[in-house]
Amino acid sequence: MSSFIALPQGMNENTFTRAIKEYRALLGDRVRTDQASLQPYMRSSIADSGSRKPSAVVYPSTPADVQKIAKIAVKYRTPLWTYYGGENEGYGSATPATNGQIVLDMKNMKKVIEVDKELGYCLVEPGVTYGELQDYLKKNNINLWLDAPAASAGMSVVGNILERGAGYTPYSEDFLFSCGMEVVLADGSLLRTGMGGIPKSTSWQVFKWGFGPYVDGLFSQGNNGIVTKLGTWLMGAPPPGGYMPFCIKFPKVEMVGEIIKPLMFLRETQIVPNAAALVNAGWEAATIFSAKNGNGSFLRNGGSPLPVKKLMDSYRVGAWNLYGAVYGSPEQVALNWMYVSGTFKQAFGNKIQIITEKEAKGDPAFEYRKQLMMGGVTRQHPLDRWRAGGGSMKFCPTAAARPAECAKQVKVATEIVNRNGFDYLSEFSFFWRDARHVIDLRFNNGDAAERKRAMKCYDELVSAFIKNGWAINRTNPAFMAKVAKSYGPTMGRLNRTIKQALDPKNILAPGKSGINLV
Ligand SMILES: Cc1cc2nc3c(=O)[nH]c(=O)nc-3n(C[C@H](O)[C@H](O)[C@H](O)COP(=O)(O)OP(=O)(O)OC[C@H]3O[C@@H](n4cnc5c(N)ncnc54)[C@H](O)[C@@H]3O)c2cc1C
C-alpha cells in the first residue's frame, strides 16, 4: 500500500519519494503529503470531486521558490496544479484536473507590491484576496474601486482575473482591465509580459500590449505558466452623488427577450456602463432568505423544482430582477437616470416595478447588489443557503445578447434542469456584446444518487448548448475536455502545440481547460 494519498499518473512510489525529498530540501515543512494537510484540496462542490486527489501540497513564498519548484517538477515529472487557497467553488474548487498532481498553493505570496493612486492601478501577488486589497485601499486612504466578483472576500484577485472572471462595476470584464504579468515558465525562467521586459520600464501597468504578439492570453484559463505577479487597473471612485444603483422587477419569465432590447441599447451607448445583472426569481429569493435567516437553515431541502410564482409571492421578487447603475458627475447621473427609467417605462408601462435606494429602504437584495456594482467585497453567496449538502456546479454559457437567443437559452436550460429534478437558478450579466448566462446547479452533495443525477444533468446542458451553437466559456475539471472539444480540432491542435513548446514535460496543470499532452 502506498504511503501517499495519491501518486502522479504513471509514477512509482520510489520516484515520488525522491521528488518529495528534493522539494523538502528546498522548502522544508512547506511541503505536505499527509491526509490532514491535503483534505482542503479534496473538498469540492462538484459532483465527482472524490475521483481526483492531490499527491502533495507545496507552499512557495517567492517567485524564486516557484522557479526552483518548476525545475524539480521537470526533473521528476511531478505535475503542479496552481491554486492560491481561494474558493473557485462551482468550477472545481481546489481539486486538480487529474489524479496525483501536486497542489502549488500560492497563499504565502501575499504582497500588494504597488498601488498607484495617480493612474489607478495595482500590482499584486497571487495570494492577495479581494478582502485584503480592499483593506489595503481603506488603510491607505486610496479612493479607488475594485471590480470584485460576488462573495469575493477570500478569493484571489489573480485567480479571478486568470479565470477570466467578472465583477459588476463599469470595468466588469476583468481580464480586459489586467495589465502586465510576471510568469514562471515550465523551464523555470521568468517572463514579464507587455512592457515588463524593458529594464526600468515606467509603463508595465499602464500599457497592455508591449511589442509583437500579445501573449498574456496564453496564461489565462490555461496551463502554460505560473503567474507570480499581475497588474490590474482600478476605477477612480466617482464624486459624491456620482453613483446611482437601480433595480427593475419584471412580472413574467417570458419577458426576458423584451427586457434585452432596451437594455442593450443602454449598454451599447454606455448610458448604463456596468455589466447589468438580470437575476431570476430563485436566485433573488435566496438573497433575501439568506439575509434574513443567516447560517444554519436552508430555503429548501429537496423535492421537485419550486414554482416561480410561489417564490415571487413568498419573497416579493420579480420573475426577473434587473440590477444596473448610472455613474459620473451628479448632474450626469440625474440626466441618465431620467433616460434609463423613461426607456423602461416606455417599453413596459406599469407592468414593472422600478426601485432606487429610496424605495428599497434597506432591502437586503438591493443592498447586496449596490455593494457589488461599486466594487464592494461581499462575503457569503446567497445561493449557499439554497439547500443543504453544498453541491454546486456552475454552468456558464455565453449568449449573443439578442432577445430571441437569450429567451431560447432560458427555455432549453429550464427544461433540462427541471426534468432532472433541480431548480433553474440563473443570472445573466450583460457585457459589451454578450450575455453571460450563469446557471448554478445546486444539489445535495451528500446524496450519491443526486450527485449522479447532477452529473447527468450538467452533461445534458453541455450537449444541448453546444448543439445550439452556444459556447461554454468556463467549466469545472470534470467537463473541461468535453467543452474544449466543442471548440474544434484545430483549436485543440494549436493548444497542444503551444503546450508542447512551452511545457514539453507536461508538468503545469495537465488537463486544465482540456489541454494535456498525454
Ligand atoms: C459564491 C461564489 C460566487 C462567485 N461569483 C463570481 C462572480 O461574480 N464572478 C466570477 O467571475 N466568478 C465568480 N465565482 C467563481 C470563482 O470563485 C471566482 O472567479 C474566483 O475569484 C476564482 O478565484 P479563486 O480565488 O477561487 O481562484 P483559484 O482557485 O486560486 O484559481 C482558479 C484557477 O485559476 C488558475 N490560477 C490561479 N492562480 C494562478 C496562478 N498564480 N498562475 C496560474 N494559474 C493560476 C488555476 O487554474 C486555478 O484553478 C464565484 C464563486 C462562488 C463560490
pLDDT tens profile 139-160: 999 999 999 999 899 999 999 9
Residue 235's SS3 state is: strand
CA distances from 340 to 45, 345, 356 (A): 39, 9, 12
Averaged over 423-445, what is the pLDDT?
96
Q: What pLDDT does 211 receive?
A: 96
Looking at residue 503, its amino acid is: D
Q: What pLDDT was estimated at residue 359?
A: 95
What number is the average pLDDT over the span 451-469? 97
Instruction: Evaluate: CB of 158 within 6 angstroms of ligand 1.
Output: yes
Dmax (CA) of the chain = 73
Q: Which ligand 1 atom minimizes the distance to the CA of 384?
A: 1
Distance 156 CA to ligand 1 centre (A): 7
pLDDT of the residue at 385: 86
Is residue 49 very low, low, confident or very high in pLDDT (cuts 50, 70, 90)? low
pTM recorded for the entire structure:
0.95
* Ligand 1 atom closest to 166 (CA): 11
Which atom of ligand 1 sits closest to the CA of residue 165? 11
For residue 88, pLDDT over 80 is answered with: no
Mutate to test the pocket of ligand 1, among 155, 220, 290, 474 (most ligand atoms within 8 A of CB): 155
Domains of the chain: 13-107 (3.30.43.10), 112-236 (3.30.465.10), 243-474 (3.40.462.10)
Tell me if 381 CB under 6 Å of ligand 1.
yes
pLDDT, tens digit, 9 for 90 and up, residues 204-219: 999 999 999 999 999 9
Q: How far is the CA of 155 from the centre of ligand 1 (A)?
A: 7
Asked if residue 2 has pLDDT above 90, the reply is no
* Ligand 1 midpoint to CA 401 (Å): 24
Query: To which H or E segment does residue 321 belong?
Result: strand 320-327
- Nearest C-alpha neighbor of 259 from the set 351, 139, 169: 351
- pLDDT score for 45: 77
Residue type, 98: T
Neighbours of 179 (CB within 10 A): 24
Question: 46: pLDDT confidence band, cut at 50, 70 and 90?
Answer: confident
Q: Report which listed range, 33-42, 82-91, 302-311, is most confident.
A: 33-42
Provide the 8-state DSSP code for 307: P
Tell which atom from ligand 1 comes closest to the C-alpha of 230: 41
Question: What integer pLDDT is reported at residue 52 of this predicted model?
Answer: 83
**Residue 173 forms beta bridges with which residues?**
166
Mutational pocket test of ligand 1: of 81, 88, 181, 516, the residue with most ligand atoms within 8 Å of the beta carbon: 88
Any ligand 1 atom below 6 A from CB of 514: no
Taking CA atoms only, the protein residue closest to ligand 1 atom 49 is 83
pLDDT at res. 33: 97
Alpha helices in 245-392 (DSSP H): 256-268, 281-293, 308-315, 330-348, 357-360, 364-373
Beta strands 56-58 and 102-105: pairing type?
Answer: parallel
Q: Is 172 in the pocket of ligand 1 (CB under 6 A)?
A: no
165 Cβ inside 6 Å of ligand 1: yes
Distances in Å between the Cα of 500 and the Cα atoms of 75, 360, 493, 504, 505 are 16, 55, 10, 4, 8
For residues 514 and 480, the answer to whether their CB atoms sit within 8 Å is yes
| pLDDT given for residue 230 in this prediction | 98
Tell whether ligand 1 has an atom less than 6 A from the beta carbon of residue 156: yes
Q: Is the CB of 106 inside a 6 Å radius of any atom of ligand 1?
A: yes
User: Is pLDDT at 344 greater than 80 in this prediction?
Assistant: yes
**CA 433–ligand 1 middle distance (angstroms):** 23
Whole-number Cα distances in Å, 29 to 22, 57, 75, 82: 12, 10, 21, 19
Q: What is the 3-state secondary structure (H, E, C) of 183-216?
A: EECCCCCEEECHHHHCCCCCCCCCCCCCCCCCCH
pLDDT interval class at 296 (50, 70, 90): confident
pLDDT of residue 302: 75
Residue whose Cα lies nearest atom 29 of ligand 1: it is 88
Mean pLDDT of the chain: 95
Whether 6 lines ligand 1, by a CB cut-off of 6 Å, is no
Q: Which atom of ligand 1 is nearest to the CA of 381?
A: 1
- What secondary structure, in 3-state letters, does 413-450 show? HHHHHHHCCCCCCEEEEECCCEEEEEEEEEEECCCHHH
Name the closest-CA residue to atom 41, ligand 1: 227
The answer, yes or no, to whether residue 96 has pLDDT greater than 70, is yes
CA distance 147 to 166: 8
pLDDT at 429 over 90: yes
Lowest mean pLDDT of 213-222, 294-303, 365-374, 456-465, name the range. 294-303
Q: Is the CB of 512 under 6 A from ligand 1?
A: yes
Distance 39 CA to ligand 1 centre (A): 19
CB atoms within 10 A of CB 301: 11
What DSSP string runs through 29-80?
Answer: GGEE-SHHHHGGGT--SSTTGGG---SEEE---SHHHHHHHHHHHHHHT--E
**Pairing relationship of beta strands 353-355 and 235-236 according to DSSP bridges:** unpaired
Mutational test site, ligand 1, from 44, 67, 69, 82, max ligand atoms within 8 Å of CB = 82
Checking if the pLDDT of 479 tops 80, the result is yes
**Which residues, 6 or more positions from 122, have their beta carbon under 8 angstroms from its beta carbon?**
112, 113, 114, 115, 116, 133, 205, 231, 232, 234
* DSSP percent split of the chain into helix, strand, coil, nearest 5: 40, 20, 40
Strand partners, 226: 184
Instruction: Report the SS3 class of residue 477.
Output: helix
The residue-averaged pLDDT of 272-282 equals: 98
Task: Report CA(113)–ligand 1 centroid distance (Å).
Answer: 21
For residue 318, give the nearest of 261, 268, 250 by alpha carbon: 250
pLDDT value of residue 110: 97
Tell me the CA–centroid distance for residue 431 and ligand 1, in Å.
19
- Which pLDDT does position 10 carry in this prediction? 92
Q: Pick 61 or 294 by higher pLDDT.
A: 61
pLDDT tier at 250, thresholds 50, 70, 90: very high
CB 33 near ligand 1, within 6 Å: no
Pick from 134-148, 186-200, 302-316, 469-483: least confident: 302-316
Whether the Cβ atoms of residue 41 and residue 94 lie closer than 8 Å to each other: yes
Q: Is the pLDDT of residue 86 over 70?
A: no
- Reading the block at residue 71, the C-alpha cell is 525545475
- What percent of the chain lies above the pLDDT cut of 70? 99
* β-pair type (276-280, 190-192): unpaired
